[in-house]
A and B are shown apart, each in its own frame.
Chain A
């Protein structure tokens, strides 16, 4: 089993998401950094993993069974007892050892998963936590000090690491590649041209009220609605990464916790840049850059192909 010694700033159980239940208002609730989650899957040779998504320093878990642990996402300084362990890698853990994340060097959310499966209930074929309706994950809630997660039979996986060229740079400023959204024409043409060019005046800062539902941006020019256009729309289904603009003209980026929304959708963050949204921190600079759907598709394919791991030869495991 695994005991939560310190949940850090905020941690919860996630996976690849709860698919296909949008008509019931059930959102994906996926790992925010899908690339880091996929890296865990590759390191542990398991694409149905329940993983821990955590934020902030001081996160610590103690293991009462030997296993292989993998750590990806934000760049962190982590220790197994007193020995440093590399992020974006997997490493063997002995009974009684404690893994601690002491410092976040780059990005915001980091991910942990294990060679032993976590014994948790699946809801609608997913382990992800739905915090609104309080189901999935660990008792439908964030992890807390003293929580004990049972683990199952170990699987034999060799320790491995993600090759350095596959580890993303998470340093701000963030230039998010976007497609034009369904209601982009609700805004003045002049503003839109500026909004869609990353180097124009339409640069924003991540607000302090950013969370797992959405990222509010501030500190930049509000988008001007065209004359006669209503300030909200009849609520419509949402895709993750949609850039909604409420009446105040300041963008909100929707993540994986809502299925519908009633604000004009000016843009949609490309899939290649969705993982980056997990790492936007309050105060970070954000701008948008319009690309074509074909470019987005190629960027996505490139990101999928970029992830490479290497097994550690002769490792004792």
Chain B
């Protein structure tokens, strides 16, 4: 674990640069621990695949003091366990208009559509992080057999609910947005609702299973 400055208001707590479940567990533990301690000078805590960014308010505390307080909190990471992850089952219509990139993915992987769906639905995924757009879950770890590159030219509009693949991950677009992932299906499940807590259906560490409709 390293603690380093970023910009004028950021402290990066980094756990290496590999996307693995072990690293993810450390990130998640750190995120929930710091969120629970809730130091008053902290404005936001943003976890990602390998790192937790703490944004502090330097009108309340100097970087030196903020870092020292954080290091003290980080020395107690083992003392509190993160909450148990929620489980989400996501029904998906694969292929056809809902999955316009299935032909490419099948050609690239040498799999039939049936095999692609079989593999995509056979894994319980972990939410590594939420971002890009509100509520967008980055899910891993993808089976080696269905790893594909991003689109060479991103789409200007990807419909809400689209389920995509890119490199080692699969994800779901909560709202219509531009996007470069290979789209293989679509879900009706609402992933983000700004009117209702907790706003995002998924949080870091949640478990997800896709089900074929």
Q: Which residues does A use to contact B, with CB under 8 Å?
A: 19-27, 123-124, 130, 132-136, 179, 181-182, 233-237, 239, 241-242, 258-260, 265, 268, 270-271, 293, 296-297, 300
Contact = CB atoms under 8 A, between A and B. Distances in A.
A233 B49 CA distance: 11
B92 interface: no
B133 interface: yes
B5 to A, nearest CB: 7
28 contacts: A19-B43, A20-B43, A24-B198, A24-B200, A24-B203, A25-B131, A25-B134, A25-B200, A123-B195, A132-B134, A133-B174, A133-B194, A234-B17, A234-B18, A234-B49, A235-B129, A235-B138, A236-B48, A237-B53, A237-B131, A258-B132, A259-B46, A260-B46, A265-B6, A268-B6, A293-B5, A293-B8, A297-B8
A235 B135 CA distance: 16
Interface residues of B, number: 46
A186 to B, nearest CB: 12
Interface of B: 4-10, 12, 17-19, 31, 43-53, 55, 58, 63, 129-136, 138, 174-175, 177, 192, 194-195, 198-200, 203-204
B48 A297 contact: no
A278 B17 CA distance: 33
Nearest to B201: A24
B17 A26 contact: no
Given A19-B43, A182-B4, 11 more contacts: A23-B45, A24-B192, A24-B203, A26-B200, A123-B195, A234-B19, A235-B48, A237-B47, A237-B51, A239-B7, A241-B7
Nearest to B62: A297
B194 A25 contact: no
Residue with the highest number of chain B CB atoms closer than 10 Å, among A182, A233, A234, A265: A234
A241 B192 CA distance: 26
Contact of B175 (A133, A234, A239, A296): A133
Shortest 6 CB-CB contacts between residues of A and residues of B: A22-B46, A237-B53, A237-B46, A135-B194, A260-B131, A25-B131
A124 B50 contact: no
Contacts of A297: 8, 58
Contacts of B135: 24-25, 133
B31 A23 contact: yes
Contacts of B44: 19-23
Nearest to B6: A182
A242 B55 CA distance: 14
Given A235-B48, A239-B55, A293-B8, A132 B133 contact: yes
Contacts of B8: 179, 268, 270-271, 293, 296-297, 300
Contacts of A136: 194
Contact of A24 (B31, B43, B199): B199
Contacts, number: 126
Contact of B63 (A22, A134, A268, A293): A293
Nearest to B12: A182
Contacts of A293: 5, 8, 63
A133 B18 CA distance: 30
A105 to B, nearest CB: 31
A26 B132 CA distance: 9
Contacts of A268: 6-8
Nearest to A29: B134
A124 B18 CA distance: 33
Nearest to B58: A297
A31 to B, nearest CB: 17
B3 to A, nearest CB: 12
Contact of B134 (A24, A179, A271): A24
Contacts of B47: 23, 237
Contacts of B53: 22, 236-237, 239
B9 to A, nearest CB: 7
Contacts of A236: 12, 48-51, 53
Contacts of B194: 123-124, 130, 133, 135-136
Contacts of B129: 235, 260
Nearest to A179: B7
A239 B10 contact: yes
B182 to A, nearest CB: 17
Nearest to B204: A23
A182 B45 CA distance: 17
Contacts of B198: 24
